[in-house]
Amino acid sequence: MKPAPTLSTAFLHPAGQSLPEPLLALRKQRGTALVDMPLPTRKTENWKYSSKYLKLTDDMAISLPAEGKTGSSLAVPGYKVAFLNGVMMPEACEYPDLDGISIKSFGDLSDDEASDLADRLDSTLDNKAVQMARLNSARFEDGLLIRLKPDAVLDQPLFIVHEVTAEASGSAFPRIFVDAGRHSQITLVEEYISSGSAQVMVNTVTEFNVAEGANITSVRLNMEGENVQHIGSTGVLQQRSSRFESHTVGFGGPLRRHDLQVRLEGEGAECKLNGVVVTQGKQHYDNHTTIEHVAAHCNSEETYRNIAADQSHAVFNGRIHIHQDAQKSNADMNNKNLLLSNGAEIDTKPELEIYADDVKCAHGATIGQLDEISLFYLVSRGIGRREANVLLTMAFINELVEQIPIEAVRETVQGRLNHFFEQAFQEA
Amino acid sequence: MATTDTEVNELIKREYEYGFVTDIESDTFEPGLNEDVIARLSGLKKEPEWMLEWRLKAYRRWLEMDEPDWAHVGYPKIDYNSISYYSAPKRPEDMPQSLDEVDPELLKTYEKLGIPLHEREKLAGVAVDAVFDSVSVATTFKEPLAKAGVIFCSISEAIQDYPELVKKYLGSVVPAGDNFFAGLNSAVFSDGTFVYVPKGVRCPMELSTYFRINAANTGQFERTLIIAEDSSYVSYLEGCTAPMRDENQLHAAVVELVALDDAQIKYSTVQNWYPGDEEGKGGIFNFVTKRGAAIGKNSKISWTQVETGSAVTWKYPSCVLRGENSVGEFYSVALTNNYQQADTGTKMIHLGKNTSSTIISKGISAGKSSNAYRGLVKFGPGAEGARNFTQCDSLLIGDRCGAHTFPYIESKNKSAIVEHEATTSKVSDEQMFLCRQRGIEPEQAVSMIVNGFCKEVFKELPMEFAVEAGKLLEVSLEGSVG
């Protein structure tokens, strides 16, 4: 048997030595553990459908230079933080000093703060299930630490723009850690964009530590170019009566992977996860979500919709795990998929793993095409076939797009979706 | 008081009803597996050269394969060299031609099992090809079947008498290299059933085989091959019980179904092998590969199974829907109690146009058991207009058991439609209250509710099996309430 491919040692050399000592030490330690790390293959269960899209060449191992200009596609009111190739750009950031809220680059942390953070990085993620996130821990050059004191409320959404400039091959490793104190509130938007056309990889990790009663809304927009392989991991740890709401909107690419792991550790915690994915051409997108009901009386609700056109490939894997003591759990997962062309492929796997008896769990999944009868209804009323197609496809995902709580984001998404529809339904 | 005590003691002692060992001398191989053992096995069965070659080829493939570890089950590693690969009742050369000639010991065994053969023969109109350990010992109703042109015999006989058919179809649905256990079976299969229904024939009766695992330490490697020619119909019943054993016994069967144009095959199973005792000691390992190929246009393959036994079950009766308009069905009830583990489900592979499939799976977990549904629904690029509906429901009884669902859905055709839904819940307090209020004992109430939960599947079973299945669930759930 052929030995499984391992991560090239070229990837084990982090750049950027300006981090505080405890973080450098952590990075080094994580890096050592990655020597001979097997890369996912078709036989790796959680990469079954996506491993063939992962193409890491040695020239992609170097870190992209952290210089140049940034520009967000979101011209919106709100607070802003800009990352360029994984490093924070203070001159492009706009946020005031707020009472009870600290927004800091990892590089600006004191040794005490950094050592506290080093103890907590990766704590929200199940590292076995997100192999590739370990690479971020070994390579991050900077990051954003957001701390909310108890009862602190961020009055406007915080936009974090992650841009990569792909002038030459390389990688970027952006990282965010949010520490939300008791009853604090924040709305956070992560936007991933790119310029240039060289082959690059973006490997991101975002972590949310959600204390009792805190309320977090997270929006993630993935709009990078056709030359960017994106591997993102998000970990969420929720305490008693906290609430986490996530909206992800993703456009396909050569490799797009997002792992979202939520652990409901305190009673009465709840989460709501929404996701929309559209792929076209030869694009790929893979969403993997895990919701762990560890404590009793928690609720989770998950809705993902995928649309795949042309020869593209969309994957959804949702897992709900109810632990033995998580009685009175409510979990609901729903995944609907639309295949627009015969060359496209959709794979979905909604899993339930249940060890408690007094629970209500349900999941549903469908794959299909637009309903002929609905199409006929519209066409018979004088609407062109193409428009009818667009209307119905739009309706399929609009339910989720409309739930995004920020108007400017909705508009950006809508614009991109219109562009997608124009291409997907060229001559119908 | 004395009577009550005796009664209580009786009840406590009552364990696996069908756990006993029939005292018949067996012609058993020394444990171990190598090419010589296979040659000896093949020689003993007077198999032609090509069959031995086929077995050896499978064995060599098997040596290179790894035991699958992806299923949601755990069991101690099996040493395949500590198993004996052949065991036959004594005097294999003088097989009885009718029941009168059958060893009375054997008949007694069947009686204990509640299958009076001769009664069944007349009353139920069921022909029984009873497999005792590995060699067919009693075959009934051969004549009316022969009149209809149906071939119903052991696979060993078929290899002798109908080599062309066996050569053509054996391994065509489940190739030897398909998976680890199918490979093992292909190398060492001891016996099994062969059914051939010719063109245009509706098999006049339900065919049935009772499997028994008997001699200790003997792996049972059954091989079943059912071929339904154009426009034919056959319904096949399979049921199992096994004697009590402390050591785990391995069972790796392969079932292959082939349905040609307009043909229909209905395959029903009630599986009640020894599940191990309350501590999870002993019990059968059931690693079975079952697959049907709906090759012909408008053909239909339907699997119905009631799984209550075995310590570990690894079983995915599947349908490859190749023919246009072909139909696949899977109805399953899987019940686990104590320390039983089941990882079962189905695969529906849609390749042809307008193919459709239905999956109804009901899992019931009690005690400390674990019960997983694992399924695959796949639409190939040519599956124009294909359709699948899947429903898997789980019922939990007790707070220390697990119920899992792992459905894989893959689609490469835009006009194919798949719908999947799953729910998990427990026996609700309201339902229990309603029953208790009317004076129904808790155990009975649970049994009633469970029976209702499984009704959709039971109605797919042939009559006599449906009754048996209901009783089986009741017995299997004993002690899980209160």
pLDDT at B90 over 50: no
Question: B69: buried, middle or exposed (CB in 10 Å: 19+, 13-18, 0-12)?
Answer: exposed
ipTM above 0.90, yes or no: no
Rounded to 5 degrees, φ, ψ at B91 are: 55, 60
Q: What band does B16 get if pLDDT is binned at 50, 70 and 90?
A: low
pLDDT score at B106: 47
pLDDT at A72 over 80: no
Q: pLDDT: is B26 or A406 the higher one? A: A406
DSSP B245-298: -SS-EEE--EEEEEE-TT-EEEEEEEEE-----TTS-S-EEEEEEEEEEE-STT
Of the candidates A96, A267, A80, A64, the residue with the CA atom closest to the CA atom of residue A160: A80
Average pLDDT for A16-20: 86
Relative to beta strand B370-379, strand B402-411 is parallel
Asked if B402's CB is within 8 angstroms of A359's CB, the reply is: no
Helices B49-63 and B35-44 pack at an angle, to 10 degrees, of 150
pLDDT at A184 over 70: yes
pLDDT at A65 over 90: no
pLDDT at B128 over 60: no
Of A45, A356, A360, the CB nearest to B70: A45
Average pLDDT for B254-265: 95
Lowest mean pLDDT among B45-59, B235-249, B317-331, B344-358: B235-249
Judged by DSSP in three states, A323 sits in coil
Q: Which residues of chain A lie closer than 8 angstroms to B422, CB-CB?
A: 350, 352, 362-364
Distance from CA of A362 to the nearest CA of B (A): 4
Spell out the alpha helix ranges (H) of B149-280: 155-161, 163-169, 180-188
Q: What band does B135 get if pLDDT is binned at 50, 70 and 90?
A: very low
pLDDT digits (tens, 9 = 90+) for A83-95: 999 999 888 888 8
Alpha-carbon span A133 to A121, nearest angstrom = 11
pLDDT digits (tens, 9 = 90+) for B112-127: 445 545 443 433 333 4
B/e letters for A377-405, b = 16+ CB within 10 Å, e = fewer, are ebeeeeeeeeebbbbbbeebbbebbeebe
pLDDT score at A253: 93
pLDDT digits (tens, 9 = 90+) for A309-333: 999 999 999 999 999 999 999 999 9
Q: Which of residues 169-228 of B touch A (CB under 8 A)?
A: none
Average pLDDT, chain A: 91
Alpha-carbon span A326 to B442, nearest angstrom = 25
Of B70, B418, B424, the CB nearest to A352: B424
Asked if B415's CB is within 8 angstroms of A346's CB, the reply is: no
pLDDT score at B10: 55
Q: Which residues of chain B lie closer than 8 angstroms to A318, CB-CB?
A: none
Average pLDDT for B307-325: 91
Best mutation target, A333, A367, A389, A392, to test chain B (most B CBs within 10 A):
A367
Q: Which residues of chain A lie closer than 8 angstroms to B403, CB-CB?
A: 352, 354
Q: What band does B26 get if pLDDT is binned at 50, 70 and 90?
A: low
Average pLDDT for A392-412: 92
Kindly report the pTM of this predicted structure. Answer: 0.86
Q: pLDDT: is A57 or B89 the higher one? A: A57
Q: Which residues of chain B lie closer than 8 angstroms to A365, CB-CB?
A: 407, 409, 418-421
Alpha-carbon span A333 to A315, nearest angstrom = 15
pLDDT at A426 over 60: yes
Asked if B381's CB is within 8 angstroms of A349's CB, the reply is: no
Alpha-carbon span B227 to B348, nearest angstrom = 19
Give residue B338's region: left, alpha or beta (phi > 0; psi -120 to 50). left
pLDDT digits (tens, 9 = 90+) for B431-456: 899 999 999 988 888 888 888 888 88
Helices A111-120 and A21-32 pack at an angle, to 10 degrees, of 30
Size of interface A-B (CB pairs under 8 A): 113
Asked if B411's CB is within 8 angstroms of A339's CB, the reply is: yes
Q: How many other β-carbons are positioned within 10 Å of the β-carbon of residue B452?
A: 11
Asked if A347's CB is within 8 angstroms of B394's CB, the reply is: no
Q: How many other β-carbons are positioned within 10 Å of the β-carbon of residue B172?
A: 14
Of A340, A354, A355, the CB nearest to B414: A340
pLDDT score at A428: 46
Best mutation target, B405, B449, B480, to test chain A (most A CBs within 10 A):
B405
Alpha-carbon span B369 to B276, nearest angstrom = 12
Q: pLDDT: is B464 or A307 the higher one? A: A307
pLDDT at B417 over 80: yes
Asked if B410's CB is within 8 angstroms of A368's CB, the reply is: no
CA-nearest residue to B370 within chain A is A355
Of A343, A361, A365, the CB nearest to B420: A365
Q: What band does A111 get if pLDDT is binned at 50, 70 and 90?
A: very high
C-beta of residue B231 within 8 angstroms of C-beta of residue B202: no
Output the six-digit token pair for A198. Answer: 């060289």
Of A355, A364, A369, the CB nearest to B402: A355
Distance from CA of A368 to the nearest CA of B (A): 4
pLDDT at B215 over 50: no
pLDDT score at B70: 84
Q: pLDDT: is A245 or A99 the higher one? A: A245
pLDDT digits (tens, 9 = 90+) for A261-278: 999 999 999 999 999 999
Asked if A345's CB is within 8 angstroms of B410's CB, the reply is: yes
C-beta of residue B279 within 8 angstroms of C-beta of residue B308: no
CA-nearest residue to B366 within chain A is A357
Only one residue has tokens 């080093």, namely A118
DSSP B45-112: TT--HHHHHHHHHHHHHHHT------SS---PPP-TTSSB--EEES-TTS--SSGGGS-HHHHHHHHH
Lowest mean pLDDT among A20-34, B165-179, B202-216, B451-465: B202-216
pLDDT score at B122: 34
Q: pLDDT: is B248 or B128 the higher one? A: B248
Average pLDDT for A52-74: 80
pLDDT score at B120: 39
Q: Which residues of chain A lie closer than 8 angstroms to B410, CB-CB?
A: 345-348
B/e letters for A96-123, b = 16+ CB within 10 Å, e = fewer, are eeeeebebbbbbebeeebbbebbeebbe
Rounded to 5 degrees, φ, ψ at B25 are: -65, 135
pLDDT score at B400: 85
Q: pLDDT: is B476 or A2 the higher one? A: B476
pLDDT at B213 over 50: no
Helices A372-379 and A385-401 pack at an angle, to 10 degrees, of 120
Q: Which of residues 330-349 of A touch B (CB under 8 A)?
A: 337, 339-349
Alpha-carbon span B52 to B38, nearest angstrom = 8
pLDDT score at B137: 40
Average pLDDT for A356-376: 90
pLDDT at B353 over 70: yes
DSSP structural state of residue A417: H
| % of chain B with per-residue pLDDT over 70 | 77
Lowest mean pLDDT among A224-238, B175-189, B275-289: B275-289
pLDDT at B129 over 80: no
| % of chain B with per-residue pLDDT over 90 | 39
Q: What band does A136 get if pLDDT is binned at 50, 70 and 90?
A: very high
CA contacts within 13 A on the Cβ side of A340:
28
